[in-house]
Amino acid sequence: MNNLKNDIFIKACKRLPTERTPIWIMRQAGRYLPEYRAIREKYDFLTMCKTPEVAAEVTIQPIDILDVDAAILFSDILVVPEAMGMKLEMHEGKGPIFENPIRSESDFNKLKSFDPSNELKYVLDAVKITKRELNNRVPLIGFSGSPWTLLCYMVEGKGTKDFANVKKMLYTAPSLAHKILSKLSNLIAEYLSAKIENGCDAVQIFDTWGGILSQSDYLEFDLQYIHQTIQLVKRTSEPIIVFSKGVHHNFDKIVSFGADVIGLDWTLNLTDVRRVVEDKVALQGNLDPTVLYANQEKIKIEAIKVLESYGYGNGHIFNLGHGILPNIEPENVKALVRIVKEESKKFHSRKDL
């Protein structure tokens, strides 16, 4: 099926037997790495995303430096709204800003559809270059924001604490929200399909803002459109990971909606979630990212706790419960990778599984 030299991550996504637990780290191509910062000094963030050679280079850095079991394409979830015609600016320290957020039907009517191979060609080129340069060492993960998460950014236009504008839209103009979400689902599915077609071995849907919704709103405005997206993604056997940060409910529905892997934040207990999903999906996570501030002895204790909470058997992908923080010591991350590779063996060795 694939020519990967290390396909332990893909096997774990499919809950196939592996001799240890695979590990990769959300935002592993990031600011905590001096090698990343050296490149970042030469380009602004969006230029890095849009220059395929550069995106490929920082994507591969953590493979060389950390020895993780998967690469994830360096990019940003906001390239999708930008490809729909929204002017995106990244302000140092203030985060991304859309000058003209979507608040009305007429704003919505200005949104374009796009062809990934045209407006997002630079992403697909980065996929191709990365695949070539990875030379099948490890699989490559592609990603997108979830429809709901992109809607949040598109309606708010900038960072927010209370999500007043997008919540107002849900409650006062729900049909407009549904229209945008539906359009986003289609475009995200095309985008993820194009990533897979160009070489991605798996895709992850980042649902950063699912946790701000009540359970009924999560089903109506978020999970429904993740479902729609998953159904539309063209793939052969490439796994789909769904990571709804802050969401502690409805895991059974995420399973029934076709996710292969559920990503979990660090407030969840893997034992509890595994009991709910009954080995129908793999689980990814969920070390508290701040544990990497500790010394390596403590990191080992906490990493083992995560392995134990998943328990024996296949279908666990080790990761942090959220993206790695910018001021973490790379030596601690390397230690975590070594610890997980070593300590996870015993959870895969029992013959009776």
- Residue 156 or 190 having the CB closest to a second copy: 156
What is the DSSP code (8-state) at residue 111? P
Do the beta carbons of residue 203 and residue 240 sit within 8 Å?
yes
| 76 noted as active-site residue | yes
Minimum gap (Å) between residue 300 Cβ and a second copy: 12
| 27 noted as active-site residue | yes
> Would residue 250 be called left, alpha or beta, if left means φ above 0 and alpha means ψ between -120 and 50 degrees?
left
Residues 202, 259, 338, 60, Cα dihedral to 10° = 20
By CB under 8 A, name the binding residues for a second copy: 162-164, 167-168, 171-172, 211, 213-217, 246-249, 266-269, 272, 288-291, 293-295, 298, 305, 321, 325, 327
The catalytic position among 27, 137, 235, 338 is 27
| 265 noted as active-site residue | no
The total of other beta-carbon atoms located within 10 Å of residue 5's CB is 10
| 153 noted as active-site residue | yes
- Residue 197 or 288 having the CB closest to a second copy: 288
| 31 noted as active-site residue | yes
E strand or H helix that includes residue 204: strand 202-207
Torsions phi, psi for 225 (to 5 deg): -85, -25
Minimum gap (Å) between residue 326 Cβ and a second copy: 9
Q: Alpha-carbon distance 223 to 351, whole Å?
A: 38
The catalytic position among 7, 36, 125, 153 is 153
Minimum gap (Å) between residue 319 Cβ and a second copy: 14
- Residue 96 or 199 having the CB closest to a second copy: 96
- Residue 109 or 216 having the CB closest to a second copy: 216
The catalytic position among 7, 76, 222, 265 is 76
Minimum gap (Å) between residue 116 Cβ and a second copy: 32
> Would residue 147 be called left, alpha or beta, if left means φ above 0 and alpha means ψ between -120 and 50 degrees?
alpha
Active site residue ranges: 27, 31, 40, 76, 153
